């Protein structure tokens, strides 16, 4: 099974009984928190985040 089909099936499974318009209430925050996580990680690696000792 190719990646697109797997991702689509995962989205269908996660949605379950939630209506498609309401689905964005759950998915968009996850995407946003992933964005924040990647940004923080990048800043950590480059040393722009103060590390506690």
Residues with Cβ within 8 Å of residue 27, at least 6 apart in sequence: 11, 14
Cα Dmax for the chain: 47
- The pTM of this model reads 0.51
At 38, list the tokens. 């990647």
Please tell me the distance from the alpha carbon of residue 43 to that of residue 48, in angstroms, as a whole number. 5
Cα–Cα nearest to 49, from 32, 34, 36, 33: 36
Contact by Cβ (8 Å): 40, 49: yes
pLDDT 10s digits, 3-51: 889 888 888 887 787 887 887 888 889 899 999 999 998 888 888 776 6
Domain ranges of the chain: 17-53
């Amino acid at each position: 099974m190719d990646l697109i089909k797997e991702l689509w099936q995962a989205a269908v499974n996660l949605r379950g009984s939630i209506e498609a318009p309401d689905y964005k209430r759950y998915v968009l925050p996850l995407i946003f928190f992933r964005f924040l996580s990647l940004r923080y990680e990048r800043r950590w690696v480059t040393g722009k985040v103060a590390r506690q000792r």
